[in-house]
Amino acid sequence: MNEAHLRLCSSPEWAAFVESELLPWALARTDLGDDVLEIGPGPGLTTDLLRARVLRLTAVERDGALAALLARRLRGKNVAVICADGSQLPFDSGRFSAATLFTMLHHVGSAAVQDQLLAELCRVLRPGGIVVGTDSMETPGRRDLHLGDVYVPVDPAGLEARLRAAGLVFVVVEQDEDRFRFVAEAPRGNAERQGPDAARGQHVSLS
């Protein structure tokens, strides 16, 4: 993350936006459960809000310096900070009740690695666990902001198919102007694993 981008993501203005708009929109009518995974917390503004909602939070940050700063700041809290690659998670399968990724998928180096990350989230979720996230669409301003950074924008039009290909079911993608949110569920059983329309059960709705 370049210096200008890091300043923005650490700013009071971004913190206010995340608290008042982004997370309430992303998490509306979702139950994250008791053991939640956050991918790509960066400076930890989303982590601060998530940890107040859940019993246990594990934050996975690939950048070693950012991970160390966040771990130091949150020492003694209900958060474990792990420096790791989200596409190769160091956790047992079926552990987490939910996984979150807020405005970070575009920082993953290629579409193929993004898809690997989504498949890893499916793997580490409990049956019926949810993935919930947000991201932003490409604009000239965002392209300039990411100068010198990894920047692989995600097209929301193709995201549902990619989430399903990762093994997730009950996928919903919703766009609001130049941002979008998504939610999906880890399969509960064999019928769901056979395809998105093979079974129906309880799932999260964004509408």
Domains in the chain: ranges and CATH? 17-34+86-193 (3.40.50.150)
HSE-CB for 122 with a 13 A CA cutoff = 22
Most confident of 3-17, 93-107, 133-147, 179-193: 93-107
pLDDT of residue 197 exceeding 70: no
**Contact status, residue 180 vs residue 134, Cβ threshold 8 Å:** yes
Burial bucket for residue 112 (CB in 10 Å: 0-12, 13-18, 19+):
exposed
Q: Which residues pair with 182 in a beta bridge?
A: 133, 173
Give pLDDT tens digits for 35-60.
Answer: 999 999 999 999 999 999 999 999 99
Tell how strand 125-136 and strand 179-185 pair up. Answer: antiparallel
Residue that the structure tokens 């020492």 belong to: 75
d(CA 66, CA 72): 10
d(CA 120, CA 186): 11
